[in-house]
Amino acid sequence: MLLKDMYWDGSQIIDIEYKDTDGNITTRTVRLESVSPNPFSQHNNSLIFYGFCFMRNEYRTFKYSNILSIKVDGNIVNPVEFLSNYCGIKYDTRTLESKQKFPNGVMCITGTFSIPRAEIEAYIESCGFDIQQQIGANTKWLAVGEKLKGDKPTYSVSKIETAAKRGIKIIRESELMDLIESNK
Please tell me the predicted confidence (pLDDT) of residue 29: 94
How many angstroms separate the Cα of 77 from the Cα of each of 45, 71, 101, 141? 21, 6, 25, 37
Distance CA(87)–CA(35), nearest Å, equals: 8
Q: Which domains does the chain carry?
A: 3-95 (no CATH), 106-182 (3.40.50.10190)
Residue 46 is predicted with a pLDDT of 67
What is d(CA 45, CA 65) in angstroms, rounded to the nearest whole number? 10
Find the length of the chain.
184
pLDDT at 27: 92
Q: What share of the chain is helix, strand, coil (3-state, %, to 5)?
A: 25, 40, 35
Give the model's pLDDT for residue 1.
33
Give the C-alpha separation, 143 to 130, whole Å.
13
pLDDT along the chain (184 residues), means of 10: 47 86 86 75 63 92 85 84 75 41 74 86 80 84 87 87 90 85 67
